[in-house]
Copies of this chain bind each other. A is one copy, B any other.
Amino acid sequence: MASSSLLCLTICSLVLFNVCFAQLEQGFQLRPTHERRRGQQERWVSECQIERLNAAEPDRKIESEAGVTEIWDENDEQFQCAGVTAARHTIERKGLLLPAYANAPRLLYVVQGRGIQGQAMPGCPETFRSESESQRRDIPRDEHQKVRRIREGDIVAVPTGVTDWIYNDGDSQLILVQIIDVGNDANQLDQNMRKFYLAGNPQQELQGQRELQSQSERQRQSQGRSSRGSQQDNAGSVLSGFDERILADAFNIDTNLAQKLQNRNDRRGIIVQVREELRVVVPESRQEEEEREREKGKRLPINGIEETFCTARMTQNIADPKHADVYTPRGGRISHVNAVNLPILQHLQLSAVYGMLYRNTVPSPLYNQNSNSIVYIIRGDGRMQVVGDNGESVYNGQVREGQIIVVPQNYVVIHKAGEKGLEFIVFKTHEVAKISPLAGRTSVLRAMPVEVLMNSYQISREDARRLKEGRQDVTA
Contact = CB atoms under 8 A, between A and B. Distances in A.
Which 9 A-B pairs have CB atoms at the shortest separation, nearest pair first? A46-B190, A18-B123, A43-B191, A236-B391, A161-B369, A241-B387, A120-B447, A36-B185, A33-B33
Contact of A410 (B41, B101, B147, B248): B101
Counting chain B CB atoms within 10 Å of each CB, the highest count among A102, A312, A442 belongs to: A442
A476 B251 CA distance: 10
Nearest to A303: B32
Interface string A10-30: 000011011001110111111
Contacts of A364: 250
Interface of A is mostly: loop
B35 A346 contact: yes
Nearest to A257: B463
B43 A47 contact: yes
Interface residues of A, number: 197
Contacts of A239: 387, 391, 412, 438
Number of this chain's copies in the complex: 3
A145 interface: yes
Nearest to A466: B253
Contacts of A32: 27-28, 302-304, 339, 343, 346
A83 B38 contact: yes
A194 B250 contact: no
Nearest to A265: B458
30 contacts: A28-B32, A32-B302, A32-B339, A32-B346, A35-B36, A37-B184, A37-B186, A37-B188, A38-B39, A38-B184, A41-B47, A41-B81, A43-B83, A103-B410, A118-B452, A120-B447, A126-B447, A160-B370, A195-B389, A207-B389, A238-B367, A238-B391, A239-B412, A239-B438, A240-B387, A241-B388, A250-B439, A252-B439, A253-B467, A266-B458
